[in-house]
Structure 1
Amino acid sequence: MMRALAAPAANRIRAIYWTLAALVLLLPAIAMNVTADVAWGPGDFALMGGLLGMVGIGIEMALRARLDARARLLAIAAMISLFLLVWAELAVGLFD
């Protein structure tokens, strides 16, 4: 059966995601005040904000798609996995 996620559940998931995205973006800003080991510039914040925004839009699209629950979860898991791979590559050059 294919149907869209109910509005209250989608709104709750949306609020949780965007709150977590904002907190993830705040962590380096806080860490820069605590230690000299974290040195993000404006470009780093812009790139991370863009990545988080793209993942958020992808999750929104998956939640709004008329897919069954398993396909929706697989799509979201794939987006999060791809985000983590890109993040790891940008952070430490995992694939060099």
Structure 2
Amino acid sequence: MQKTEQQIEQFDLEIIVERLQLTGYQNCDCMAPGDVKAAFIKWLNSTVESINNEPEWWVQNHNVGDFYTHLPEPVFECEEDDTDFVQVEVISQEKEPAIIIANSKS
């Protein structure tokens, strides 16, 4: 839980609350700033918990394109005895999911 609290400190909660209230998002403009701030922190904690519990689902369902843009370029890996290798091949110039092709030398 301490790690989440440190992550929350990275947000400027006062500005976030102000924006939520100015836009009237989910009727935040009718609520006290402290209540909006507490709700945002609880929502953020539940989001972090969701990511921790099911990272593959979360990434797949929340703008996976942004995730791929932060991955390093594909690499080629060979086993020491060179009998099996895994080749990672990018389909297009845009960052898309890589296809893994496994070949075995007979």
Pairwise TM-score range, normalised by the shorter structure: 0.3 to 0.5
**TM-score relative to the length of structure 2:** 0.30
Structure label with greater radius of gyration:
2
TM-score normalised by structure 1 residue count: 0.33
Q: Which structure shows the bigger proportion of residues in helix conformation?
A: 1
Larger relative contact order (Cα-Cα within 8 Å, sequence gap ≥ 6): 1
